[in-house]
Each structure stands twice: as C-alpha cells, then as structure tokens.
Amino acid sequence: MKRAFRKNIFRTIKKSLGRYMAIFAIIALGVGFFSGLKSSKPAMMKTGQEYVREENLFDYRLISTWGFDEDEVEKIRELPGVRAAEGAVSEDFIFINAEETQNCLKALSITEEVNVLTVEAGRLPEKANECVLDAALFPENMIGQEIVIAPENSDETRDSFAYDSYTVTGLVRSPLYLNMERGTTTIGSGKITAFMFLPLEGFSYDYYEEIYVDGDITEEAFTDAYEDAIEERADGLKEEVSAIVETRYRQETADAQAEIADGEQELNDKEADARQELADAKLELEDGQRQLEEGKQELSDGEQELAEKKQELSDGEQELADGEEALAQAEEAFKAGEQQLAAAEAQFAQEEASLSQGESQYRQGLAEYEAGLAQYQQGKEQLEAHRAEYEQARAAKEQMEAAGDTDNPLYATLKESVEEFEANEAELAAAKEQLDGSKEVLDSTLAQLTEGRQKLEEGRALLEANRQELEENRSLLEDNRAKLAESRDQIEEGKRQLADAEEELHAARGEIADSEQELAEGWAEYEDGLAELETELADAREELNDAKQELADLAEPEVYALDRGTNVGYASYEGDVSIVEAVSKIFPVFFFLIAALVCSTTMTRMVDDERTQIGTLRALGYTKTAILAKYMIYSGSAAVLGACVGYMVGTRLFPAAIWKAYGMLYGFADLILVDNFLLFLFSLLVSLVCSVGTTFLSCRMELSHAPAELIRPKAPAAGKRILLERIPLLWKRLKFLHKVSARNVFRYKKRMFMMILGIAGCMALVMAGFGLNDSIANIVNDQYDNILKYDISATYSEAVSKEALSEIEEQFGAEITNQAVLMETSVDAPYEGGVKTVTLMVSEDDSIRECVDFHLDGKPVAAPKKGEILIDKRLADIYEAEVGDTIVLRTGEVETQPLTVAGIFENYTFYYAYVTADTYEAYFGETFEPKTIYMALSEDADHYQVASYLSDMEHASNISVIEDMRIRVSNTMQSMNYIVVLIIFCAAALAFIVLFNLGNINISERVREIATLKVLGFYPREAGAYVFRESMVLSIMGIVAGIPLGILLHRFVMLQIKIDMVSPEIKILPLSYLYSVLLVLAFTVCVDVIMRRKINRINMAESLKSIE
Amino acid sequence: MAFIDVQKVNKIYHSGDVEVHALKDASFQVEKGEICVIVGQSGAGKTTLLNILGGMDTATSGQIFLDGVEVSAFRKKQLAAYRRNDIGFVFQFYNLIPNLTALENVELASQLCKDPLDPEEVLAEVGLKERMNNFPAQLSGGEQQRVAIARALAKNPKLLLCDEPTGALDYQTGKAILKLLQDASRGSGMTVLIITHNSALTAMADRVIRVKSGTIAGQRLNEKIIPVEQIEW
C-alpha cells in the first residue's frame, strides 16, 4: 500500500470521524449484545460447574428402602467408580423464630467429602450440639443463638435429634441448594423455609437414610457427557448397592423369622402358664364361695334364733308389763281398799261417835222427857187442884154471860181465870201431847239407836274382816312385787344376752359381707385376668401375625440411585440459565441487521461524497481494487475496532448484569467470566460481513461507472411523487416543508428501512424492558391486589372459635373490611412431570370470595359444588386440564377421589386450589378444621398492630402480613431492574447510533439544500425542522412499527422465563407504552438537538459552491 | 442616500495564523432600479461582497445600507429576516430543492416573505407555465435557472443578487437568463446586482463596479446600455 494511500485513509477517517464512529458504535453494540448474551450462559454454566465441582456436589444419591448401615457405606466406598461415599440423615422440624412464627427447617447431616459446605460466616460445628444455618435466609446475627427443636414437633421428630437445641456457629451455603427453592415437607405449613446442617452425631439415628456418592466423574456438570457418564454407571451401581443391602435383608429376614418363631413359642408357654394360674384361682374362689354360703346359713340360723329369743323376751316383757300393771292395779286397789277401809273406819268412828252422840242425846232426851213428865204431872195436879174453882168460875161466868153481865169486872176476872185455866189446861194437854210425841221420838230413837248400835257392831266386824283381808292383800302384794322385780331382772339379763347375741350376729354379718366383697373382687379379678389374658394373647397373636405379615409383605430392599437431576437446584439451574440463550437468539440478529444497514447507508453516502475523488483516483490510474480497499479498510477497521470493544465490554457487562438479576434465584458464587475465542471470531466475521460486505456492494456500483462519469457530479436524486400525493385532500393541506419531508422520507428506501428498523428495534427493546418490569414487578400487585385481597392471614393450631372471632371483631371491627375463616392446607398435585405443592383452601361458606378473588380474564369464576374444585391457571396448565375434566390430588400418600374442575382462576405465584368443606371431607377423607382467618383491612389500618394482636391470641401459630411478603417479593424483583436498565441502555445506544447516522447522512447530503434554505431566509429552527421533521416522522413510524415488535419480543422473552414460583402474566402496562414512546421520542429529540448545532454551523457560502 | 450604500467595508478571514484581507475599504453606491454588474477575477472578492450584501456574512468593519437601513448592524436573526424579506438570490448552480416541483420551489420562497407575488404568475412570466409541476431533475439547466429566478422574484425582494447566473449555462441559455433579469429589472424597477467574471456582461448594466484584489477598482455608470441580445462573448 502506498504511503499516500494510507495517509488518505487516515485523513478520511479523521475528517469523517462521526461516520466512522457510527460504524464502530453499531458494530460494537451489535457484537456487545450478541457476545454478551451468548457468553452469559457459558459464564453462568462455568460458574455453576466450578461451584459444583469445588463443593463436590454428589453424583449419585443412593436411597434404600432399608436404609444403610456403616458397613454398607464402607462396602459402597469400595465399589469401583466410587471416589467417596458418605451416609447422611436428615429431618424436617418446626422451629419457632424470634417473631414467634412457625417455620419448617430441614436439618441435614454434614458430609465431609461430598456436598461440601461453603462457610459464609462463622465456622463449622465442632460439637454435636452445634449447627450451621442457611446463609441465604438467615442474618449473621443468628450466630451464637440457639435453634430449639420446638415442642410442637412430634415425638418422632424430637426423637430424631440427639439434643433439644443447637448452637448456631455459622452461616453456610450448600451445593445441594443452588437456588432458593428449599422444598416441601409433611409437617407444619408444608414448606421448608431454610436448611440447617448438624454433625452426624447431632442426630439420633439407626440407619443412614441416604448415601451421597462422588462418582469420580471428570466430565463437567450440566453437560450431556456428564449425563451420559452418570447414566452409564447408574444401573451397575444400583445393582451392586442392591446386592449389598440384600445381604442384610436376607440376614434380617431370617432373624426376624426366628424371632417370630421364638415369639410364638413363648406366647404359647405363657398362655398355658397363665391359664393354669387362672384355673387355680377359680378353684380357690369357688371354695371361698362355698364357705361363704355356709357362713351365711349359720348366720341366718342365728338370726332366726335371735328373732325367737327376741320374741320371747318381748313376750316376757309384755308379761312383766302386764304383771306390773296388775300389780299397780292391785296396789291401786289395795290403796283404794286401805283408803276405803280408812274411810270406812272413819265413817265407823263417826257413826260410832254420832251413835254415841245420839245415845247421849237420847239419854238427854229421855231425861228431858222424864223431867217434862214430872213437870206435867205436877202441872196436872195443880190444874186438878184449881178445877173446882174453875168450875165455879166457869159456871159463874156462864151465868154472868147468860145474865149478860159480861161487863161486870168480875166477869173479866172470871173470864180471865176461866181462859187462864183453859189455856193452862190446853197448855198442859199440849205439853202432854208434846211429851207423848217426845216419848214416841225417844222410843223410835231408842229403837234407831239400838238398831244403829247393832249395825255398828256389824260394821265393826266387817271392818275388822276387811282389815284382815287388807293385811292379807298387803303381804300378797309384797310377794308379787318381789316376784316382779325378780322377773324384771331376768328380762334385763335376757336383753343383755340378746344384745350380745345381736352384736355377735352383726359382726358375723359384717364378716360375711367382707368375705362376699372379697369373693366378688376375687371373681372380678379372675374375670379381668381372664379378659386381660385374652386381649394380651390376641394382641400378642396379632403382633405376631403382623410381624409375620410384615415379614411376608417385606419387599426386598429397593435401592435407588438418584442423580443430580433430582436435585431441584441443579435441575432448574440449566433451564433457568438457558433463558438468556433463548433471548440471545433473536436480539443479535436484529442488531446485526441494523448494523449492516447502517454500514451500507453510511458507506454508500461516503462513496457518493467522494465520487469525484474516486473518479480522479481512477483517472490517475488507481485500480478498482485499490479504491475499493480504501473503503473496505475504512469500514472494516471500524468494524474490527467495534467488534473488539463490543466483545470486551459485552462479555463482561452482560453476564455481570444478568448474574446480578439471577442473584434472586442463584447467588451461590461470584460469576466466572468465560472468554470464547470462537465467539469473538464469529462476531468479528459477522461484523466484517456487515461492514465490509455492504461496503463492497455499495462501492462496486459506483466503481462500475467509467472514471469520466465519476468525475462529473452525480445528478441529484430525482424528486418523485409519493403515494400520499394521490390523496389530494390530505396532500393539499400539507405545508411545503411538510411535503418536502414527506417526499424525503420515501426518497431513500434503504435509509427509511434502517431508520424504521432501528427505531422500531429501539422501541421494541424499551418496551420489552418495561414490559419485563411490568410483568414481573406487577405480579406482586396483581397477586396481592386483585387475587389475594386479604392483608393478613392468621393460622392457629386449633379451629378458630366463635369467641375468638367476636374478640377480633370487637377489637378491630372498624378496621376489618372483609374476613373469611377457612382451612388452608398443602396438598400434592402429581402430574406427568412430577409433583407440585398446592395450597388448598377449604371453606364452608362463600366469605372466602371476599378475600380471594377467583376470576379469569376479568370474569368471576363460579363457586364449586360438592365434588368440584377450582384450580388456578398455573395448575391447569400443568395438568393440561380444562373445565369439566377431573383431577386427582394427594394428601400424604393418599390419593383423593377424582375431583371435577369447576373453574380455573388467575394466579401468578405458587399453586392454589379451592374446594368446599363437604367436598374436602368427602373426597379427601379428612376433617374440616377452619384454623385460618383471612382478613382484609381498611386503607388506614395498621396491619402490624392487628397482626401483633392476632399473634398474641391463644393457639396462634402463624400470622403473616401480606405487606411484608409484598415488600420481600418486590425487593427480589428489584434485581430485575438491572436487566431492564441494561436493555434500555442498549436501546438508547441503538437509537442514538441510528439517529445520528441518519442525521449525519442527511445533513452531509443536504448541506447545499440547507445552505440554500438559509440563504432564502429560513430561520435556524425552520432549517433544522427541514431535516428533523423527516427523522421525526421516521421515528414515529419506527415507534409505530416497534409496538407490535415490542409486544412480540416481550412475549418471546417472557415465555422463556419460567420460574416455578411465579408465572408472570405477559403484559405491558399502558403507562409503559407511554414511557417507551416518550423515551424513544426523547432519544430522537436528543439527537436532533445535537444535530441542530451541526446545521447551525453550516456555512451559507456552501450554497455558492459548485457541486463536487 | 443611495439605495445601496457600501461604505469602507473590510472583511478579514482568519484561517489559522493566516489572515486574508478579502475586502479592503470597499465603498460604492447603487441607485434603486439599476442593474449593477460587479465584475472581477476569481478571488478578487466579489463573492465576499455578495455574501455581505446578501446578509450571508458580516463585514469586519464598515457600513452597508439598503434602502436607508443599516444592514451591517444586523444581528444573525435580523439578517435571516433580511434575507427572507429583502433579498432575492440567484445561484450559479440554481440550488433548487430537488424534491420539490418547480412551482413548489417558487412557493417555498414566496411563502416565506410578507408580500409575495403569485408563484404561478411569476413562473408564467419566466416562461415555465407548462413545466410548473416538473421536478428540477426533469428540467434543463436554463429552465432550472428560470425557476431559481422565479423563486427569487416571487419574494418581491428589494434587491436581487445573482451569483454568476450564467456560469453553468451555455451561451444562448445564459443570454436568455440575462434577458430575463434585465426584463425583470426594467419591468418592475427591481434593483439587480449581478456578479460575474465575464466583463462582456458589463454592457447590459446601468452601473459597473470593478473589483480587484479586495478593493473597488472603479465604478462607473454605463452610458451606452446594450440590449442583452446584442452582447457577444
């Protein structure tokens, strides 16, 4: 190459640096993007491989249904193709963290040679009661704390651990967990939160559950060669291990058989003994029974006797009482007799006295009478003596009377003497009469008295007899009394005797009752003993039968040799990492296409610019090849430089950014960059094809012209009418400058395509970037605003009571907008490719729909009936199920009856299904226990306050605030932003390069036009608009074209991203469309602003120059 | 004061360390309605003069008045307005916008200024009534220059500046163009300034200004104006 020629090239580059840079930049961008994306997967693969190799991830994981013992591990270690083999155990347990929520941790035994742990902080355990924790999920301040095996764990779980608590000594990563997936478990919530490693001695175990084998395979992980190597050895290894385990199986089954036989013998012996013993006991009891009967008879005889005696005694008593009564009566009578006698004596005495008195009175009366008689006699003699006088007096009187000389005082004295005499006589007669009467009385009295005296004498005799009788009675009475006292004594004695007898009898009765009780007890004991013996025997027999059955059922030990494909982290790593590769398939094509267009237009323009120069050179005698070489060197050098820079930057920037984004899934090691010379070579080649190839094509056309023609200025491209002009209605309304722009737009088809493609690509990239963000970042919002509408989920260890609900209602009634009580449980969903863990929601009523919105494509999904289930779209996709199909779920190992899919609802994270309580009980065969409350709170409610209240309630086991989860997920999604930024950066670069290039070409091509317009008096703004209206129109066309492209691109990228945890909805928010359009327009405007300055610098004098 | 009054205009270009004195104390006047031919050899400074007069460049010192307005005092923006409204420009290479038809090229200019003439009429005047809707590429050189003149005239400028208007044309076409310019000046009383290196053209001018090495070598009024048809070169 001539010096001048070389100089020319350098000068050209220097002069047209913008143009050179455009080629350089677009190639750099294309190569950067291509090599960056292409090398991301290898870099990540390499990182994974290195990590897996360094930490010595197992090649085989041997599992036997019989476990393994130390000898077997030893034997397996000796097998060919086994470099290391280590037995391991693991146990899932519930751990209550500082926030008092239940977590399930997986405790694994530390293996030394295989699955080596990387210590992130602290140190490995040195003692059996020390442990290390999952570095990805625990903060460093856990070191030194205790991990307590919560009392909530089953006994079985607790028994698996040698200690109740373990001291955390460090945080580690394990190659067993490449990503964040920690797996599921049968305990607690069903989801393992994190892992924990302890020394083997920290477990209490009989057999190793599994053996991790280092298969001594040199092939790199994740490669087909590795898979082949693994597969090649797997069957052999499995058989050899099976043989080893089978030896133990044979030994153990033989032992078991012998044991069963022994057991049977023993059982039979024992039975015989026990039966004999029981029979003896029965005999004894029967004897006792007989004795008791006798005793009872005796007792009843005694009782009979006693009763008789009692009767006798009571008869005696009666008699005694009668006697006493008689005695009393007799005494009474005696006393009455005595009294009578006394009265009679008194009467007698009185009568005697009155008789005596009467006698004395008689005597007195007699005396008086005799006196009276004497008197009378005297009187009578006196009177007789006086008679004669009287007879004189009388006869005198009678004369006088007869004479009627009554008045004579002799008469009164006569009369008085007569009357006196008569009265004396009468008186004497009366006295005589009286005396006679008295005499009569006296005589009667005397008779009476004599009679009385006689009567009295009779009475005295009677009295005397009575006294006599009384005296006799008295002595009789005395006798009776003595007799009675004697019989009373006798009765008392009898009574005493009776009491004694009774007491004796009572004691005997008690004794009998006691022995009866004793006997009953004896019988009961006997019966119990018998029953016990029977059940014991039945149990023992059953046990024996079970053991026999077990032995019979005992399958030969199954041995499984699992490879890394069963490790979730390892298995998903390759797939997840391959996402980038898928993306790398279409982007670079696009970039290189644009690069080719940019090179082509640029070089065409350049060749056009230097047309006269080319002509001159040709005229001077330079060959076509030499001239072509200049341009090819020009574009080629730009491309080589661009490819180098692009490769250097791309292969470092892209993998780093992508690794950063993957950090939320895989953050196990620092990225190892991989340089791939072939990739570089390929990029370079494509770049050269794009640049040199297009240059060649554009130059060849020019050079095919004769030099003479080249020297003359090229006729400017003819103006052409465009399609738009055929619509006069529209065309006439356009301003000229708009018309010019419109015509310009279509003047250079290649540039138009470049521009539209470039901007469309930019638009598509930006949209894909924003869309990526929308789809992933909005999973959170969609999930927690539109599907799971509750703010707090509170799970209790027991069914939620009405009291608890009303307590909550009372406390937070105003804050709670919706509430549902349900049962939330994990079930397995087996499908062709494996098993997914599904959160099954079970509720009795429809209230759950207030908290969980079952909808699909904006339409609500109807509630399931009995036997029906609602499943989410993700599950439906996995099952390939449609409404009306039936699916089978699994709880533990038990399969449900087929459930009819009644509806499919939208959901983005995890897997959910919903059935009613009666379906659950009928189809899952378990009891419905609503232990969970979903609560939607009002806007201004303090979620944490409610949550803390709920967690303080009784039986609270897990209170989760959705806000927390939302923040957590959002944070992890943030890493996605790196990719978005990277994409937007690339899009911007693309837009800038294309716009710059086009602007540059347009301006350089239209310097004359622009200068002329300026001369014509265009203001700078107008002159700028003349050029930029065009690029603006093209930009808008590009944007319009870019929108469907963006949607497709975004869809494509999203389809590649399949993370198990989430299934992003493929969507771009309207705002993102707006942002994308604005961003691309901003790029356009930005380039315009820079370009305008260039236009302003165009000298008007250019217009005067001749066309070169 | 004359219609155009150029007083002691100097123009110095700096290019690196080198100073080029393109104009030295150039002074001249042109009256309204005159056809003035500025003649001089390549590099004499005619184009600089034209640039300054046309508002495309500014003088380093000195004053320029057009119709009593001091152009030399204008700022950039005012200069643009001045070009827009007061100046018509005819280029040696026509400088038509290739993407616009003849009529549209004229309209492009006429739409810019305040008091334009009807583009179609102007085009008819320059004899292109039939080719109005043709694109420049479809027109011959002379026709293109007619469009350019029509474009300049349509603005109804105070001053029509023509830079070697015949430079790219053949003899006959060149004559026709000059005739057109002469007619335009005579017809509408427009002041026309023609810059050329061809002294033969001085015969058609009212006023002739000779430029030599950046200085005005002389200016004279042409006593004997010869119609364009009779000029030979």
Convert A591-629 to b/e letters by CB count within 10 Å (16 or more is b).
Answer: bbbbbbbbbbbbbbbbbbbbbbbbbebbeeebeeeebbb
Contact B11/A at CB under 8 A: no
pLDDT of residue A188: 65
Of the candidates A719, A1013, A1101, the beta carbon closest to that of B99 is on A719
Contact B95, B148 (CB under 8 A): yes
Residues in B touching A735 (Cβ below 8 Å):
111
pLDDT higher than 80, residue A42: yes
CB contact under 8 A, B136 and A1107: no
| pLDDT confidence of residue A199 | 92
Q: How does DSSP assign B39-69, residue by residue?
A: EE-TTSSHHHHHHHHTTSS--SEEEEEETTE
How close B25 gets to chain A, by Cα (Å)?
22
Considering the domain architecture, whether residues A476 and A541 belong to the same structural domain is answered as yes
Token pair in block for residue A63: 């599992």
- Which tens digit of pLDDT belongs to each residue from A53-96? 888 888 888 888 888 888 888 888 888 888 888 999 988 888 88
Q: Do A1017 and B101 touch (CB under 8 A)?
A: no
pLDDT tens-digit map of A976-1003: 677 778 788 888 888 888 888 878 888 8
- How many CA within 13 A on the CB side of residue A183? 17
Please check whether residue A1018 touches B, CB under 8 A.
yes
Distance between CA atoms of residues A674 and A671, nearest Å: 9
Lowest-confidence pick of A385-389, A916-920, A955-959, B151-155:
A955-959
Interacting residues of A565 by C-beta distance below 8 A, sequence separation 6+ = A571
Q: Which residue of chain B is at minimal alpha-carbon distance from A747?
A: B99
Residues of A in contact with B163 (CB under 8 A): 1104
**DSSP bridge pairs for A840:** A825, A913
Is there a single domain that holds both residue A72 and residue A186? yes
Query: Is A1015's CB within 8 Å of B54's CB?
Result: yes
The residue among B214 and A710 whose pLDDT is bigger is: B214
Task: Specify the amino acid at residue A992.
Answer: F
User: Which of B88, B65, B66 is CA-nearest to residue B184?
Assistant: B88
A715 CB neighbours in chain B (<8 A) are 137
A543, with CB counted inside 10 A (0-12, 13-18, 19+), is: middle
Mean local confidence (pLDDT), A1038-1064 = 78
Which of A130, A1083, A42, A59 is closest to A564 using CA atoms? A59
- Summarize pLDDT for B166-222 with one digit per residue, the tens: 877 888 888 888 888 888 888 888 899 999 888 888 888 899 999 988 888 888 888
Residue in chain A nearest B91 by alpha carbon? A1104
**Do A972 and A993 fall into the same domain?**
yes
Chain B from 122 to 141: CB within 8 A of any A CB: 135-138
The answer, yes or no, to whether residue A794 has pLDDT greater than 70, is yes
- Of A886, A921, A954, which marks where a domain is finished? A954
- Does B54 reach chain A within 8 Å, measured CB to CB? yes
- Interchain contact, B93 vs A1106, CB within 8 Å: yes
In angstroms, rounded to a whole number, what is the distance separating the alpha carbons of residues A699 and A607?
Answer: 6
Chain B partners of A1100 at a C-beta cutoff of 8 Å? 51, 56-57
Option in A718, A1012, A1017 nearest B95 (CB):
A1012
Which has the closest alpha carbon to B214: B19, B64, B11, B63?
B11
Q: How many Å is the maximal CA-CA distance in chain A?
A: 261
**Using 50, 70 and 90 to split pLDDT, how confident is the model at A166?**
very high
Q: Which two tokens stand for residue A1055?
A: 């389809």
Residue A744 to chain B, least CA–CA distance (Å) = 7
Q: Which residues pair with A212 in a beta bridge?
A: A61, A86
pLDDT tens string A460-488: 888 888 888 888 888 888 888 888 888 88
**pLDDT at A280 > cutoff 60:** yes
Displacement of CA A58 from its chain's centroid (Å): 37
A657 burial type by CB count under 10 A (0-12 exposed, 13-18 middle, 19+ buried): buried
> Per the structure block, which two tokens stand in for B107?
């309209």
The dihedrals phi and psi of A97, each to the nearest 5 degrees, come to -85, -175
Q: C-alpha angle A775/A781/A783, rounded to 5°?
A: 90
C-alpha distances out from residue A492 to A320, A370, A947, Å: 11, 78, 90
Residue A56's CB: how many other CB atoms inside 10 A? Answer: 18
A565, with CB counted inside 10 A (0-12, 13-18, 19+), is exposed
Chain A residue nearest residue B53, CA to CA:
A1015
| Residues from chain A contacting residue B50 (CB–CB below 8 Å) | 1104
Q: Which two tokens stand for residue A748?
A: 């250079």
DSSP string, A22-74: HHHHHHHHHHHHHHHHHHHHHHHHHHHHHHHHHTT--SEEEEEEEEE-HHHHH
Whether residues A972 and A867 fall in one domain: no
What ipTM was predicted for this assembly? 0.89
> A552 in contact with B at a CB cutoff of 8 Å?
no
Residues A866 and A950 grouped into a single domain: yes
Average pLDDT score, chain A: 82
Q: Locate the domains of chain B by residue range.
A: 4-230
- Tell whether A1012 lies on the interface with B, counting CB pairs under 8 A: yes
3-class state of residue B155 by DSSP: coil
Dist CA A519 CA A513 (whole Å): 9
Question: Which of A1015, A1099, A1102 should one mutate to test binding to chain B, selecting the residue with the greatest count of B CBs within 10 A?
Answer: A1015
Same domain, A589 and A684: yes
Residue A1 has pLDDT above 60, yes or no: no
DSSP track, A1040-1081: HHHHHHHHHHHHHHHHH---SSB-------HHHHHHHHHHHH
The partner residue sitting opposite A1016, judged by closest CB among B101, B109, B138, is B109
- Asked if A439 has any chain B CB less than 8 Å from its own CB, the reply is no
B4-230: CATH topology is Rossmann fold (3.40.50)
For A1098, name the nearest residue in chain B, comparing CA atoms only: B56
Closest partner residue to B99 (CB to CB) among A743, A1016, A1106 is A743
A834 interfacial to chain B (CB closer than 8 Å): no
Q: Which residues of A touch B56 (CB under 8 A)?
A: 1014-1015, 1100-1101
Query: Token digits for B168?
Result: 């790219």
Which residue in A696, A743, A744, A699 sits closest to A722, CA to CA? A743
Provide the shortest C-alpha distance from residue B224 to chain A (in Å). 31
A chain contacts of residue B11, beta-carbon cutoff 8 Å: none
Task: Indicate whether A231 and A85 sit together in one domain.
Answer: yes
Beta strands (DSSP E) in A744-833 are 792-796, 816-831
Element housing A701 (H / E): helix A694-703
Same domain, A39 and A142: no
Torsion angle of the four alpha carbons A972, A973, A978, A982, in this order, in degrees rounded to the nearest 10: 160
Asked if A717 and B98 come within 8 Å (Cβ–Cβ), the reply is yes
What 3-state class would DSSP assign to A347? Answer: helix
Q: What is the distance between the alpha carbons of residues A256 and A548, in angstroms, rounded to a whole number?
A: 9
In the sheet with B35-40, reading across from the earlier edge strand, the strands are B87-90, B159-163, B191-196, B35-40, B207-212, B215-221
Under DSSP, the state recorded for A161 is B
Let me know the angle formed at the C-alpha of B193 by B30 and B28, rounded to the nearest 5 degrees: 30
* Over residues B151-161, mean pLDDT: 89
Residue A132 has a pLDDT of 94
Domain that holds residue A126: 51-235
Per the CB < 8 Å rule, is B112 touching A1016? yes
Highest mean pLDDT among A724-728, A775-779, B66-70, B97-101: B66-70
Domain check: are A62 and A34 in the same one? no
Distance from C-alpha of A1102 to C-alpha of A1091, rounded to nearest angstrom: 18
What pLDDT does A184 receive?
A: 65
Is there a contact between A1017 and B57 if contact means CB atoms under 8 Å apart? no
Residues A120 and A178: beta-carbon distance below 8 Å: no
> In this complex, is the C-beta atom of B92 within 8 Å of any C-beta atom belonging to chain A?
yes
Q: What is the pLDDT of residue A1108?
A: 46
pLDDT of A174 > 80? The answer is: yes
Residue with tokens 């941790």: A105
Residue A809, pLDDT above cutoff 90 = no
Locate tokens 């293109």: which residue? B144
Residues of chain B in contact with residue A740, where contact means CB-CB under 8 angstroms, are 97, 99-100, 104, 108
pLDDT band at A171; cut points 50, 70, 90:
very high
Q: Note whether A495 and A435 are same-domain residues.
A: yes
CB < 8 Å to A719, chain B: 98-101, 135-137
Tally of CB atoms within 10 A around A415: 16
Note the pLDDT of residue A414.
77
CB contact under 8 A, A719 and B80: no
Which residues have C-beta within 8 Å of that of residue A1015, sequence separation ≥ 6? Answer: A1100, A1103, B54, B56, B83, B89, B91, B95
Q: What is the mean pLDDT of residues A949-971?
A: 73
* Residue of chain B nearest A1104, judged by CA positions: B91
pTM value is: 0.61
Q: Tell me the pLDDT tens digit for each residue of A1059-1082.
A: 555 666 777 888 889 998 998 888
Partners of B47 on chain A (C-beta within 8 Å) are 1101, 1104
* Rounded to 5°, angle at Cα A797 from A95 and A781: 80
d(CA A764, CA A771): 10
Is B117 part of the contact surface with chain A (CB cutoff 8 Å)? no
The minimal CB distance from A739 to the residues B47, B104, B168 is found for: B104
A746 vs B: CB within 8 A: no
Searching chain B, which residue's CA lies closest to the CA of residue A739?
B100
SS3 B168: coil
Give A588-643 pLDDT, tens digit per residue.
777 788 888 888 888 888 887 787 788 888 888 888 888 888 888 888 999 999 99
- Asked if B109 reaches chain A (Cβ–Cβ under 8 Å), the answer is yes
- Examine the domain organization and report whether A284 and A423 are in the same domain: yes
- Give chain B's mean pLDDT: 87
CB contact under 8 A, B80 and A1012: no
Residue A403 resides in a domain: no
- A144: region left, alpha or beta (phi > 0 left; psi from -120 to 50 alpha): left
Quick one: tokens of B208? 């002739």
Contact between A362 and A442 (Cβ < 8 Å): yes
The total number of structural domains in chain A stands at 5
Q: Is the dihedral of CA A1052, A1054, A1057, A1061 positive or negative?
A: negative
Q: Is residue A559 part of a domain?
A: no
Which amino acid type is present at position A518?
Answer: E
Contact B89 A1015 (CB under 8 A): yes
Claim to verify: residue A32 and residue A61 sit in the same structural domain: no
Put simply, whether A731 touches B (Cβ < 8 Å) is no
Give A561-616 as a DSSP string: EE-GGGSHHHHHHHHHHHHHHHHHHHHHHHHHHHHHHHHHHHHHHHHHHTHHHHHH
Structure tokens at B188: 């509408």
- Mean pLDDT value across residues A805-821: 85
Per the CB < 8 A criterion, the answer to whether A34 and A591 are in contact is: yes
A813: contact with B, CB 8 A cutoff: no
**Angstrom distance (rounded) from CA B16 to CA A164:** 90
Would you say the C-alpha torsion A768, A769, A772, A773 has a positive or negative sign?
negative
Query: Mean of the pLDDT values across residues A154-176?
Result: 89
Our CA-based measurement puts residue A1018 at a distance from the nearest CA of chain B, in whole angstroms, of 7
Name the residue among A716, A735, A1017 with its Cβ closest to that of B85.
A1017
